[in-house]
Structure 1
Amino acid sequence: MGRLENKWMRAVLPALLIHCSIGTVYCWSLFKNDIASYIGKPIGEVEWAFSLAIFVLGMSAAFGGRFVEKDIHKSSLLAALFFVVGMAGTGFFIYQKSLIGIYISYGIVMGIGLGIGYLTPVKTLMLWFWKQKGLATGFAVAGFGLAKVIASPLMEYLLGERNNEGMLVHTANVYTMFYMLAGIYLVMMVIGHVLLKKPAGFEEENVQSQSFSYKKVLTNKTFIGIWLMFYINITCGLALISQEKGILAFIGFGAIGLVSSLTAVFNAGGRLMFSSLGDRLQDRNTVYKMIFISSIAALFATIVLDGIQQSSAILIILLLCVVNAGYGGGFSSLPPLLSDRFSLNSISTVHGLALSAWAIAGLSGNQLSALILEKTHSYDVVLYVIMALFTVATFISMFVVKPDKVFLESEEVDRGKEMVASKVFSK
């Protein structure tokens, strides 16, 4: 057992197992049309299952942070149960052709598993990697981004052959796929649950977490600023990413699947690169300035060349890769930034509250670009709006999110824990 007591086996591996499982929520586009066709409902109505899942993810994280803070073993097991039951239930209700059932199983039940599962490994990783918190969260959140790359080929295989119209030859594969995936992810998440463990000297906190003040956090200007720029980054990312396929088709680029895989790699790579870069910077908020400014530069370059229709395919793909990388980097850089401002002691709770921005952005991001296209029929207008929002986020990062630590009373507690950690890790 002594060989298991290290940061790779007790933090990185379980985090990847959990996040590579729940991250498959982003594979929704692969089978949503098949679900709509099988149950005989419009794709627009079926689409709400995904939006609901992201909303419940954010809200369950917001309200479940204290629970995760108290016991990571219970929270990791609960995440596995909700996620697997939700996935298996989705298969059952597809078979029953019940749209309401799909909303409940995929949107609510699985959404709760997503939120609790997303939070659970993060603090444990930062405790094991106490000198490289950004790298630690990058590992976990990169797993969430890579899930789509890993799971997509498996899902395509399980769905089976398609005819010339793109319809499944064996329609029963739609719901049987969910049953099989539920079994696979049950094994992965339970192994993650068993392996996940905080380092010695970091048992579940009690005194500090009991004195946590929701009001003090939610009314704090720094937290509000972080929440807003995180929300804008997700909204802008979803607004562009959701139109990825349409933009590529509009410019006549055929290898859409290849670009989708490429942007997914940039999404995952950005999660690891930006968060680990933050470990080398004096203020992690600088990472967000880099994300916003690089996205603005890529958008501006495309607009200057007379918009999407006149721009080269290479420039469009570069734009999609840059925004995807920043989208992922915004997620992985959030926990260490909050830890720097509000201390590591209550990070699960504060991180959960900040993830409520994801819940709201999950409802507004896709709809923003869809509404603009409905009114203007122009992808260029979408780019202008996204660039304007990124500009607002840059100003928030520069003038609202200050580099000062907010909860200085917790600083001595964190320092004491770091001294314990240094003794543990030096062995």
Structure 2
Amino acid sequence: MSVSIAAEPGFFSRERTIAAPSFNRWLVPPAALAIHLCIGMAYGFSVFWLPLSRAIGITQPITCPADMGFLASLVATGCDWKISQLGWMYTLFFVLLGCSAAIWGGWLERAGPRKAGLVSAFCWCGGLLISALGVYLHQLWMLWLGSGVIGGIGLGLGYISPVSTLIKWFPDRRGMATGMAIMGFGGGAMIGAPLADWLMRQFATATSVGVWQTFVAMAAIYSVFMVAGALGYRVPRDGWKPAGWTPPVMSRSAMVSSKNVDLDVACRTPQFWLIWAALCLNVSAGIGVIGMASPMLQEMFGGKLIGLDIPFGSLDATQKAQIAAIAAGFTGLLSLCNIGGRFLWATSSDRLGRKLTFAIFFTLGFALYAAVPTLAGYGTTLFFVLAIGVIISMYGGGFATVPAYLADMFGTRMVGAIHGRLLTAWATAGILGPVLVNYLREHQLASGLPNAQAYNQTMYILAGLLVLGMICNLLVRPVASRHHMAEEKESLVAARPEAHASLADTPTAEPTTSPVLVALAWAAVGLPLAAGVLITLQKVAILLH
């Protein structure tokens, strides 16, 4: 007689993250924020470029020989790196983010958010340590491999790890839930960049710019927050729903489906590719403006920023330094608009609907992009700054709203994996947007146009991209019933160990988790975010003054 003993699920398995009946769902968003605020430092990595460009010379860069080849520059130890070489880390971040999210999104759904979050922490923090060694040994390839490639993989897994979990915990407020988490990715640089600047000043010596020590310190700090966030993830048992919430009755033409679509099937539907194109076009336009926001303000307004009716090209070095400080405040304001838009637009989409929200992005965005040259021509910064601020809020809002859009279309079962594949649109836009804006600007200047008019044609072309995005969004229709998962397959998915608990165990009253624990969890992520916002507001005050 043989006795079979079921293996105990491992600590990192999805089954071990099933929430107890007393669990409070409001503990999940701060867990997601703990990870997103750390990996969001990818947006702030430019704070390292100047110090790294003089890592050997310390006070002044030591230029490499003009005849040095590409491979030789990767291992050269006697001369400093160019900022253009370091900038490839930024490109690798977002290309690898999209690719890793697409490749491992399906694994994430099976493994659960805890394991994915821990792998993300290992890759992001481990990448920083490899980069620190690369700075210490002065090996450029180690920076590309460490933060660029390995860190980029960590970005992808960390970015999508909370999406499907939050949507399952907040079926009544999908947009708000994903907006809270993805808001953290936009705000990570507001915390990380000032922290990195402060650390580099503390570690700097006569023989070191303090970057490798800063990488090590930030890896240690981020590992604490990311591991805590990953271990804080919980998933609801199958069939769970918020107390007192009744799913709305859906009509056949409704844009919100209660049925699930398999990952590979979803990626073959026209709805997936229409939403992919809509996100890509929205992000291409927005990221192009973000990348050139500071020089755009300076070149369009020139001396008017400091009360002088002088074009940008006629300013002296002191005057250019003054308007550069004002432009830094403008960049900080756009950071606030980015993170605020992620939460506000995503939350609004719960009432407006996802398709209408994207329609607003494209309609209002088209009007604002087309109006920017005219607003700049008036010579006053107020309306120009307001227009760009709203544009960037919709850029961030698109990122935060699209996971809920996918859940509406394809159900919640595989939404994390589907979202991962959709993020290839981000990788595409990360190349298309900046290249389009930069090359058009150079073409306009080469044609003899003054700096103040170099962006006019660019704005009109970006407005045209939004028209294409508007058409794609208008073509989105409910997914045909033939694409829905068969009942047998859904029942097999539901038969996983975490679904074994009976629905009778599902809480019918409000969760009983201690409010103190919830408050502490939110304080752990809220206080650093508030500090970052305060520092940014101080920079914005220069612009408003």
**Pairs within 5 Å for 1:4-403:** 5-9=23-27, 11-38=28-55, 40-71=80-111, 72-160=113-201, 171-201=208-238, 212-214=262-264, 216-250=265-299, 251-252=301-302, 253=305, 254=323, 255-281=326-352, 283-305=353-375, 308=376, 310-377=378-445, 378-398=454-474, 400-403=475-478
Give the conservation status (yes or no) of the 8 Å contact 2:342–2:397.
yes
CA offsets per residue over residues 332-372 of structure 1, 9 Å max, x none? 11111001111111101111110111112222222221111
Q: 1:345 to 1:315 in 2, by over 3 A?
A: same
Corresponding residue pairs, total? 409
Alpha-carbon separation, structure 2, partners of 1:221 and 1:213: 14
| 1:130 CA drift (Å) | 1.3
Matched to 2:410, the amino acid is F
Matched to 2:226, the amino acid is M
Give the conservation status (yes or no) of the 8 Å contact 1:341–1:407.
no
Give the conservation status (yes or no) of the 8 Å contact 2:40–2:185.
yes
Alpha-carbon separation, structure 1, partners of 2:423 and 2:399: 9
| 1:159 CA drift (Å) | 2.3
Q: What TM-score, normalized to structure 1?
A: 0.88
Alpha-carbon separation, structure 1, partners of 2:466 and 2:291: 17
Gaps of 5+ in 1: 204-209
| 1:171 CA drift (Å) | 4.2
Alpha-carbon separation, structure 2, partners of 1:189 and 1:379: 40
| 1:266 CA drift (Å) | 0.9
Residues 94-103 or 335-344, more deviating: 94-103
Q: Which protein is bigger by CA-based radius of gyration?
A: 2
RMSD: 2.8
Q: Check if 1:409 corresponds to 2:484.
A: yes
SS of the equivalent of 1:386 reads helix
Matched to 1:212, the amino acid is D
Q: What TM-score, normalized to structure 2?
A: 0.70
Q: 1:213 to 1:330 in 2, by over 3 A?
A: closer
CA offsets per residue over residues 181-239 of structure 1, 9 Å max, x none? 10110000010011111123379xxxxxx99352x323311111100011111111111
The answer for the alignment partner of 1:207 in structure 2 is none
Q: Percent identity?
A: 28
Q: Check if 1:424 corresponds to 2:527.
A: no
Give the conservation status (yes or no) of the 8 Å contact 1:262–1:321.
yes
Q: 1:411 to 1:146 in 2, by over 3 A?
A: farther
Alpha-carbon separation, structure 2, partners of 1:196 and 1:397: 33
The answer for the alignment partner of 2:251 in structure 1 is none
Alpha-carbon separation, structure 2, partners of 1:225 and 1:168: 53
Give the conservation status (yes or no) of the 8 Å contact 1:58–1:115.
yes
| 1:373 CA drift (Å) | 1.4
Alpha-carbon separation, structure 2, partners of 1:157 and 1:113: 25
| 1:42 CA drift (Å) | 2.1
Give the conservation status (yes or no) of the 8 Å contact 1:239–1:366.
yes
Alpha-carbon separation, structure 1, partners of 2:173 and 2:458: 37
Matched to 2:412, the amino acid is L
Matched to 2:419, the amino acid is H
Higher helix residue share: 1
SS of the equivalent of 2:172 reads coil
Alpha-carbon separation, structure 1, partners of 2:120 and 2:396: 22
Alpha-carbon separation, structure 2, partners of 1:236 and 1:168: 42
Alpha-carbon separation, structure 2, partners of 1:87 and 1:200: 36
Give the conservation status (yes or no) of the 8 Å contact 2:261–2:411.
no
Q: 1:404 to 1:212 in 2, by over 3 A?
A: closer
Give the conservation status (yes or no) of the 8 Å contact 1:161–1:170.
no
Give the conservation status (yes or no) of the 8 Å contact 1:241–1:324.
yes
